[in-house]
Chain A
């Protein structure tokens, strides 16, 4: 009997506890009270002589939801912008984040951040603070992509996506696909940046983002978002200066000041030394860096076949790199071996006789030379910047720990002097669905 009574008391207590749980927990954060941020931007600004951090968020435009969406509107028609950009300055990042609460009644929720954009000024000043902030947050994920914007991060967030509803999605997907399609911007997620910052023999690198005015005159991006303050329609209807003049004015002088009339793209790589941005790699160098780091898995290499200009292109569909450090009396050297395969996709004026084995071999040779040149350029550039984004030091650490111990603290003195020997071996697997190229007669 006694134990029965005890049992009922305990079960009653448990049931009561369960009931308490039904009302939700202390931690309850309902979707309706959240600001789901998909893109974060960080800039450094100076206001009244005081250095501040400008934090920008891209979230959903609540007022546009349920209204006419971009679906079906097609390009060239101005869609209702789904995104909303807010920015707030603060003395520290958390300060800025909490200051945002004075402006927004909703809680900033960072569990869905896809991309973190770092403004150029912030990047040159040092990114440790913001990387640590994101690393420390229990919401931001290690798979969040990092980019450095040539310009300010706020403008990057304000720029218009062309192909997706939100610029975060657009940026994220561009980065996700780039390694398998173009390989001209070295992708980096939060984890790889943390790894680059923490590891003595490796420096961080991330994609370079830039903003530009779409060259197409009919682009809806040039006209600015619907509901924006100066849309062409409104200006035209006012008829003060005439639609045509206004059109020129808006697209000519004013354009620089209107990030919402620009769109963003990736290209090239931001190279860091320690936590500071030192310089950018161009697109060819970026491809070289991706080859050396074994990150490139698809892209095209144009080359010149018995011609002064590039007249053929090779599309690689896989590439794998092995790097071997060689430590000798003469110093430190690395042997980089790239193996890849792909397709010959262009042959102008049938310069290459695709039916001849010797021509194919010669073409492969030329492709190899191009790839080797990209790599050498990337390595030379990074050596001149003294930034080991390839993780050569880390590699020595892993293969020759005793030697690494001697040079670890002076790796920056050694790195610019290391010799890097790049060998590429690309094979042409096929030539598309035709054999010989069209010969115009």
Chain B
């Protein structure tokens, strides 16, 4: 479970955010993404776990009607289903854009989308356990790769690039944090995965461990990127992490390692996509009252591919959404609404009391 979330962070957050974070927070990016938005992640996690404890056998979209009443509950559940599908298409687009820009510039993006989606859907079709096991295979290698690449890149680290500290006060750093919070808050998928945890009482512990490790990971990644390139140069790149790995050169023979990154980021993307599609399938199925979520997967995949092309056909559209709209949407979807639901549930005394569960 922990590893699934780590891979979440690993794929898109490492890839797309550093440039923007560097633009906002400058040399303090590492702080913005580690200490700065851990509080936001903590809030999201607490809300998600509290809701999960109240309804340990159901996913978010299932107990919404119970809390809100049938019609508004169903409506919100449907909205969430759509949001998750949209999120899936966004991810798909992030993945294919990355491959297209760095590796296969002539391949039609829709093909890349399809290939990624098919693999991910297959994973989602087999169920959460298979995804978790695949993750169990990929994750150790992936983690080793990140540590190795970061230490190789750190050869060119210039600590003075991390200075000055808090040049413009804390405010820009917090802005960068809140921007990055959308990614950190992806821990809200806990809402959709809670019933599948086999050790539910450890959900909070796992989540905290995730936040802790991601704090270190993201902080290190950003520190190394800005430390090597400086914040101004980082800010004008699209994939600073990939650039960083391209820059690695150990004794003039250990070079051109970017393909390692590409392969493992694709692996991470596929796992993340599989989880998201799985959640989307369950959300749709529970909203429509279907018994088996699998039947929804293929329409979801098609929708995700089409949405990915229609909404984010160009990089500018993608970056506009990712950097301007998504942080706000994330705040509402990940934190505000679940917190409100929790409040209503507490007031209306719905769901099992947390104490009764333990």
Q: Nearest chain B CB to A2's CB is how many angstroms away?
A: 10
Q: What are 28 pairs between A and B in contact, CB < 8 Å?
A: A6-B125, A10-B125, A14-B118, A14-B122, A17-B115, A17-B118, A26-B104, A26-B107, A26-B111, A27-B104, A27-B105, A141-B246, A142-B243, A142-B247, A143-B249, A191-B247, A195-B229, A198-B236, A199-B230, A199-B232, A199-B233, A397-B164, A398-B160, A398-B164, A399-B163, A399-B164, A400-B164, A401-B167
CA distance A13 to B117 in the complex (A): 13
* With known contacts A17-B115, A397-B164, A398-B164, A10–B122 Cβ distance under 8 A: yes
How far is A198 from B231 in the complex, measured between Cα atoms in Å?
A: 10
Interface size class of B (residues with CB under 8 A): 20 to 34
**Sorted from nearest, which 7 A-B pairs have the closest CB atoms?**
A401-B164, A398-B163, A26-B107, A27-B104, A401-B167, A27-B106, A198-B232
CB distance from A41 to the nearest CB of B (A): 23
A17 to B243, CA, bound (A): 30
Most buried by B among A17, A395, A401: A401
Residue of B119, B247, B255 ringed by the most chain A CB atoms within 10 A: B247
User: How distant is the Cα of A10 from the Cα of B120 in the complex, in angstroms?
Assistant: 12
Q: Does B101 contact A (CB under 8 A)?
A: yes
Interface of A is mostly: helix
Report yes or no: A25 in contact with B107, Cβ–Cβ below 8 A: yes
Q: In the complex, are the beta carbons of A198 and B233 less than 8 A apart?
A: yes
Interface string of B152-173 (1 = CB under 8 A from A): 0000000011011001000000
Residue of A nearest to B294 (CB): A6
In the assembled complex, the Cα of A59 lies from the Cα of B82 at a distance in Å of: 53
Q: A194 an interface residue at 8 Å Cβ cutoff?
A: yes
Within 8 A of B (CB), among A178-202: 191, 194-195, 198-199
CA A49 – CA B110 in complex, angstroms? 46
What string of 1s and 0s marks CB contacts (under 8 Å) between B238-272 and chain A?
00000100110100100100000000000000000
Instruction: Give bound CA distance, A97 to B100, whole Å.
Output: 21
Chain A, 367-417, CB within 8 A of any chain B CB: 395, 397-401
A50 within 8 Å of B (CB atoms): no
Q: Is A356 an interface residue, CB under 8 A from the partner? A: no
A395–B294 alpha-carbon span in the complex (Å) = 59
Docked pose: A143 CA to B64 CA in angstroms: 55
> Distance in Å from the Cβ of A148 to the closest Cβ of chain B?
21
Chain A residues with Cβ below 8 Å from B102 are 138
In the bound complex, CA of A397 to CA of B26 (Å): 12
Nearest CB of B to A245, in Å: 48
Q: Decide yes or no whether B108 CB sits under 8 A from chain A.
A: yes
Bound state CA distance, A13 and B255, in angstroms?
A: 37
Given contacts A25-B104, A26-B111, A398-B161, 5 further A-B contacts (CB under 8 A): A141-B246, A143-B247, A194-B233, A398-B163, A401-B167
Q: Nearest chain B CB to A101's CB is how many angstroms away?
A: 15
Q: Nearest-CB distance from A25 to chain B (Å)?
A: 6
Determine whether the beta carbon of A142 is less than 8 Å from that of B164.
Answer: no
Assembly CA distance A27 to B122 (angstroms): 26
Residues on the A chain within 8 Å of B118, using CB = 13-14, 17
Contact with B along A16-45 (1 / 0, CB 8 A): 010000000111000000000000000000
B241 smallest CB distance to A (angstroms): 14
Could you tell me the distance between the alpha carbons of A143 and B156 in the complex, rounded to whole angstroms? 12
Min Cβ gap A178→B in Å is 15
What separation, in Å, do the CA atoms of A194 and B101 have in the docked complex?
20
Counting chain B CB atoms within 10 Å of each CB, which of A26, A195, A398 scores highest? Answer: A398
With both chains docked as a complex, state the minimum distance between the C-beta of B288 and any C-beta of chain A, in angstroms: 20
Give the residues in chain A near B111, CB-CB below 8 Å. 26
* Neighbouring B residues of A195 by C-beta, 8 Å: 229-230, 232-233
Assembly CA distance A5 to B125 (angstroms) = 13
Within the complex, the shortest CB–CB distance from A192 to chain B, in Å, comes to: 10
B273 to chain A, nearest CB (A): 15
Which residues of A lie under 8 Å from residue B125 when comparing CB positions?
6, 10
A25-B104 Cα distance, complex, nearest whole Å: 8
A143-B249, A401-B167 given as contacts; is B229 within 8 A of A191 (CB)? yes
Minimum distance in angstroms from A204 CB to a CB of chain B: 13
B-side contacts of A399, CB under 8 Å: 163-164
> For window 95-149 of chain B, which residues contact chain A by CB distance below 8 Å?
101-108, 111, 115, 118-119, 122, 125
- Chain A residue nearest in CB terms to B99: A27
Q: Please name the residue on chain B nearest to A198 by beta carbon.
A: B232
CA distance A195 to B234 in the complex (A): 10
Q: Which of B156-213 contact A (CB under 8 A)?
A: 160-161, 163-164, 167
| Closest Cβ neighbor of A111 among chain B residues | B256
CB-CB < 8 A to B164: which residues of A?
A: 397-401
| Chain A residues with CB below 8 A from B122, complex form | 10, 14
CB-CB < 8 A to A398: which residues of B?
160-161, 163-164
Return the chain A residue nearest B103 by Cβ.
A27
Which residue of the partner chain A has the closest CB to B239? A138
Bound Cα distance A176, B251 (Å):
11
Chain A residues with CB below 8 A from B105, complex form: 27, 138
Question: Which residues on the B side are within 8 Å of A401 (C-beta)?
Answer: 164, 167
Q: Give the shortest distance, in Å, between B234 (CB) and chain A (any CB).
A: 10
Taken together as a complex, chains A and B put the C-alpha atoms of A124 and B249 apart, in Å, by: 32
On chain B, the residues within 8 Å of A176 by CB distance are 252
Residue of A nearest to B27 (CB): A398
B230–A142 contact, CB under 8 A? no
Taking CB atoms, residues of chain A closer than 8 Å to B119 are 14
Q: Which residues of B contact A17 (CB under 8 A)?
A: 115, 118
Chain B residues whose C-beta falls within 8 Å of the C-beta of A25 in the assembled complex? 104, 107
A199 to B161, CA, bound (A): 11
- What CA separation (Å) do A198 and B243 show in the bound complex? 17
Q: Within the complex, what minimum Cβ distance (angstroms) separates B298 from chain A?
A: 10
Q: Is A26 a contact partner of B249 (Cβ separation < 8 A)?
A: no
A27 to B249, CA, bound (A): 26
